[in-house]
Structure 1
């Protein structure tokens, strides 16, 4: 958790791991993140206006299967 990666498809985008592993499978989990703070840490400058937020679930690293459900995503300024 907390790992950060360059996005291989977009130079001005980063990927930040919020949850990893199966230890909390079958549970609803809640997270709060500070996108402004994350952007400042990654790029060292004020962020531009938000155009989109990507939420991703994958098993690329272990070539396995994954399932995720998302609900009630809220962005606040």
Structure 2
């Protein structure tokens, strides 16, 4: 019984944290796309800054999902 409750709680935490990471990813990427089309044409901005921010936001969302997945499995 205790294991079933623990499993349900960890699943809820994992799903919640994955939703958090996906929402963070969608928000940050939508802002980056908006920024891409609203700044003046600049090679540094379009080829270095915006792709770097996109990759870093994706990596951050991945870390949120992994960290919370580990926390759910430890509890």
Q: Normalised by the shorter chain, which TM-score bucket? A: under 0.3
Q: Hey, which of these two has a bigger chunk of strand by percent?
A: 1
- Mark the structure with the bigger radius of gyration: 2
Taking structure 2 as the reference length, what is the TM-score of the superposition?
A: 0.26
Q: Hey, which of these two has a bigger chunk of helix by percent?
A: 2
Higher relative contact order (CA 8 A, sep 6+): 2
Taking structure 1 as the reference length, what is the TM-score of the superposition?
A: 0.25
